Amino acid sequence: MSKVKSFVSATAGLPSKSPALISTCRWQRHRFDIPVRVIVHTSDVHFTDQTKLYDGRGNELNEGGMAVPAGVELSVGREVAVEFTPPFSGIPIRVHAAIRNRAGYRYGVEFLMEIPDETETVNQLRSLLQTLSQLSKD
């Protein structure tokens, strides 16, 4: 059973909250407002690959993903790429991500680490966020 199906199945019996509004955050959220580019790869019926770019804003960044309000229609489970420059860093990163929940045009994306470069990038992001967490506690 896929992660999305198991998540929907596990939350189906909850009467008052939709799955998009249930908090399942595993890491501390950092409230930032940063520009984000959502990159969507599609294939049409003629097997033509297309790439579309959508600008959005990233916020509630954490080690495993972020919230992304963006003016694009995406379904839960859809894989995209997300490109952004982490706070206090001059180096933009691009990582594969999956849409895990949505409320209107606000998406919860989970970073997927499919190749070693992405794993290293996300590990660097984790290190930065852990440093920021320590600074905010002091």
Q: Dig out the tokens for 120 from the structure.
A: 């290293």
* pLDDT confidence band for 20 (50 / 70 / 90): very low
pLDDT per position as a tens digit, 78-94: 999 999 887 777 888 88
Domain that holds residue 121: 3-137
Model pLDDT, residue 11: 34
- For residue 71, what is the domain's CATH number? 2.40.10.220
Helix and strand element counts for the chain (H, E): 2, 6
Domains of the chain: total = 1
**Burial class of residue 49 in the structure, from the number of CB atoms within 10 Å of its CB (0-12 exposed, 13-18 middle, 19+ buried):** exposed
The DSSP-derived string for 23-90 is: ----S--B---EEEEEEEEEE-TT--EEEEEEEEEEEEEETTEEEEEBSS---TT-EEEEEE--TT--
Which has the minimum average pLDDT: 67-71, 77-81, 113-117? 113-117
